Amino acid sequence: MLSEKGIYKMGGILLILISISTSFNSYKKYDAIFYGRDVIVPVLDIPISCKSSNKSVKAYFTFIYNGIEYSKNIKGEYCGLLERNKTVKLKINSDNSVFVYPNEKMTMQIISIVILFIIGILFLLKQNEI
């Protein structure tokens, strides 16, 4: 059985590891947002209506780039555009693995990573006090 000190230590380490791994994964999105190049991709399919998308059912569209099929979540302001047009403008990162909308932001993602890291540090400090 883990002691209270052990629980804080394990929780702190886990939260720090999650925040670090998430930040590594977020770097590709950051690269696409700030340094990515614009591409226009053909829209292949919009499987469900944008209007039926909600918090539990996310709407995604499929598109093709360099002969490979990708999918991306549909942001609200792009719903009508995707239903009207056969192409959409996106930004792509340097290794062609992440696509973002031209005006996509990372603010909440960065805040979440920092909060997880800080809580992990606080857990580790708390276990030292016990």
pLDDT digits (tens, 9 = 90+) for 53-109: 555 567 788 999 999 999 998 877 787 788 788 999 999 999 999 999 999 999 999
Distance, in Å, from the CA atom of 34 to the CA atom of 72, rounded to the nearest integer, reads 19
Output the pLDDT for position 82: 80
b/e for 68-88, b at 16 or more Cβ within 10 A?
A: eebebebeeebbeebeeeeeb
Output the pLDDT for position 45: 87
pLDDT digits (tens, 9 = 90+) for 2-46: 899 999 999 999 999 999 999 988 999 999 999 999 999 999 988
pTM (2 d.p.) = 0.77
Output the pLDDT for position 55: 54
